[in-house]
């Protein structure tokens, strides 16, 4: 197949492209056309998100769309590009990196504001570092579903519009088929973008990037000038990152590769590689098979985020000059993160106000869950139901108790918990907890089953999972089995950086 740029498109496909990141100039990106794939087909389409964005009616029905979102066609008004950035990977300075297999098609004006459209897996770029620029079907399905699962949980994330597949071959540990996921976000600017220009001594570009982020995404900081402006930027990113880490931890999400080039300055969950939602609770769980030292284990994520913020702070120092205000901005993490964690855990427990012993109550619960590797999501859901049912049943907590081997430990904790709940309206409290503690998460084995079916040409489970994950707090009786405990074979699934 030869590459073709569409000279014209039907009126319904005239998307409202606007210049955003590209206005910064060629120091920030390289124009790059996607590389076509043979015989593309739909794997998953996010109808709800397409409607939210306000994309044209019958958007999916135009053959140009399938071709364009596979990288076989460039829609009129789009100007594909790959951006350059650097970063620390597994704690080591890696130097220049960049969009090695991601291509931005540009920004469009949507019902939710200006959004950048990006293809992941559309072929090599100037930053591919001898890579092929491709993504495989399994990883593309995982990112598609994970992006929308996080959104359904109310956790800031890049979004996913669709996945396309192709019989085109890609070699990883074995030969696999290619796929392209269309990602959407207000911006894909990473900590590593700032690190790049600071490391190159390109201070004018560093300032331009900071001003761009403030103007387009943090306009409330625009009245500031000089060093205070960039201190405020650092503090804003620090606050957003702290809040995001609290959300990850409370839902049991493991990222797997928290390199600085995978950290969003907007506080979005970015780059779904070897991620996982916890099954049995293990604070030391490592979801990335390639993370041999456990740098990105679940319990270490908040500290790693703090370390990454210091890298960002160092990159911004040429604009800030004095160390003290930068350190103060970074130190705000130490108050924001634990405060956000405390509040989130109180909500999970149905506690409407703060008491002195709440943190100890949570820590003792987590130790009990750790001791017996209790399923994290099932525990919280059963606890929510038990609180609601305890308004009229003396046996409401038995299903929760059954999750523990050391039941006496749970019994002692539950006594303290019920005393803490006091005379609260149990029915109303339980209902609120059910809106806080999801019934459905993207468990590894569910993603694996969807991938296996997709490899056989059946994409129904991808779409069904998408619908359920968009509403993870609802019941979905047809898919009750997806809310159950993970099967034994789920622990054998290995997820690495290879995708």
Confidence of residue 41 (pLDDT cuts 50, 70, 90): very high
| pLDDT of res. 57 | 82
Confidence of residue 5 (pLDDT cuts 50, 70, 90): very low
| pLDDT of res. 369 | 98
Query: Which has the closest alpha carbon to 276: 496, 498, 44?
Result: 496
Please, what is the average pLDDT of the chain?
94
Residues of the chain above pLDDT 70, percent: 97
Interval 222-264: pLDDT, tens: 999 999 999 999 999 999 999 999 999 999 999 999 999 999 9
Dist. CA 139–CA 408, nearest whole Å: 42
SS3 state of residue 181: strand
Q: Is the pLDDT of residue 434 over 80?
A: yes
Q: Is the pLDDT of residue 493 over 90?
A: no
Does the annotation count 261 as an active-site position?
Answer: yes
| pLDDT of res. 348 | 98
Dist. CA 274–CA 208, nearest whole Å: 33
Interval 296-352: pLDDT, tens: 999 999 999 999 999 999 999 999 999 999 999 999 999 999 999 999 999 999 999
Cα→Cα distances 387→250, 381, 417, 426, 461, Å: 19, 10, 10, 6, 33
- The DSSP string of 346-383 is HHHHT--S--TTHHHHHHHHHHHHHHHT-BHHHHHHHH
Question: Whole-model pTM above 0.85?
Answer: yes
Per the residue annotation, which of 57, 132, 211, 261 is the catalytic one? 261
Which ranges in 82-177 belong to alpha helices (H)? 137-152
Token code pair at residue 344: 């989130």
Interval 48-91: pLDDT, tens: 999 999 998 889 998 899 999 999 999 989 999 999 999 999 99
Question: What is the average pLDDT across 436-457?
Answer: 97
Q: Is the pLDDT of residue 366 over 60?
A: yes
| pLDDT of res. 436 | 98
Dist. CA 172–CA 136, nearest whole Å: 9
What burial class does residue 19 get, using C-beta atoms within 10 Å of its C-beta: 0-12 exposed, 13-18 middle, 19+ buried?
A: exposed
Q: Is the pLDDT of residue 388 over 90?
A: yes
DSSP-derived secondary structure letter, 110: E
Q: Is the pLDDT of residue 464 over 80?
A: yes
Q: Is the pLDDT of residue 139 over 90?
A: yes
Q: Is the pLDDT of residue 6 over 50?
A: no
Dist. CA 409–CA 362, nearest whole Å: 14
Half-sphere exposure of 377 (CA within 13 A, CB side): 22
């Amino acid at each position: 197949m030869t590459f073709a740029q569409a000279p014209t498109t039907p009126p319904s496909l005239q998307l409202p492209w606007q210049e955003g990141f590209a206005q910064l100039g060629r120091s920030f990106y390289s124009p790059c056309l996607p590389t076509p794939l043979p015989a593309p087909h739909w794997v998953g389409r996010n109808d709800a998100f397409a409607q939210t964005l306000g994309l044209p009616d019958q958007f999916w029905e135009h053959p140009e769309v399938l071709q364009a979102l596979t990288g076989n066609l460039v829609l009129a008004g789009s100007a594909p590009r790959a951006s350059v950035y650097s970063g620390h990977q597994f704690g080591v300075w890696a130097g220049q990196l960049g969009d090695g297999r991601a291509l931005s098609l540009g920004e469009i004006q949507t019902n939710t504001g200006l959004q950048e459209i990006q293809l992941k897996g559309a072929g090599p770029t100037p930053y591919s570092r001898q890579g092929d620029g491709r993504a495989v079907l399994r990883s593309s399905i995982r990112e598609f579903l994970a992006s929308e699962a996080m959104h359904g949980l109310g956790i800031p994330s890049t979004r996913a519009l669709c996945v396309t597949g192709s019989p085109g071959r890609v070699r990883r540990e074995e030969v696999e088929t290619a796929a392209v996921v269309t990602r959407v976000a207000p911006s894909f600017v990473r900590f590593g973008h700032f690190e790049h220009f600071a490391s190159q001594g390109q201070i004018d570009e560093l300032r331009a990037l900071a001003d761009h982020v403030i103007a387009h995404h943090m306009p409330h900081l625009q009245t500031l000038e000089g060093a205070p402006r960039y201190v405020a930027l650092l503090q804003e990113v620090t606050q957003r990152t702290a809040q995001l880490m609290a959300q990850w931890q409370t839902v049991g999400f493991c990222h797997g590769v928290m390199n600085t080039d995978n950290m969003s300055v907007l506080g979005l969950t970015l780059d779904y590689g070897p991620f996982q939602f916890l099954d049995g609770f293990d604070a030391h769980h490592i979801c990335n098979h390639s993370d041999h030292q456990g740098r990105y284990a679940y319990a270490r994520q908040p500290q790693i985020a703090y370390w990454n913020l210091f890298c960002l702070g160092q990159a911004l120092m040429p604009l800030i000059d004095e160390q003290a205000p930068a350190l103060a901005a970074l130190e705000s993490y130490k108050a924001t993160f634990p405060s956000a964690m405390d509040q989130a855990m109180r909500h999970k427990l149905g506690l409407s106000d703060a008491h002195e012993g709440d943190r100890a109550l949570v820590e003792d619960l987590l130790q009990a869950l750790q001791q017996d590797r209790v399923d994290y999501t099932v525990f919280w859901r059963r606890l929510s139901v038990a609180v609601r049912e305890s308004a009229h049943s003396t046996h409401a907590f038995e299903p929760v108790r059954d999750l523990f081997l050391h039941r006496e430990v749970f019994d002692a904790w539950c006594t303290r918990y019920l005393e803490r709940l006091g005379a609260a309206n149990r029915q109303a409290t339980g209902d609120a907890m059910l809106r806080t503690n999801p019934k459905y998460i993207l468990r590894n084995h569910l993603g694996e089953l969807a991938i296996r079916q997709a490899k056989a040409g059946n994409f129904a489970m991808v779409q069904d999972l998408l619908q359920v994950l968009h509403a993870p707090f609802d019941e979905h009786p047809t898919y009750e089995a997806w809310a159950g405990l993970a099967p034994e074979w789920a622990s054998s699934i290995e997820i690495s950086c290879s995708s």
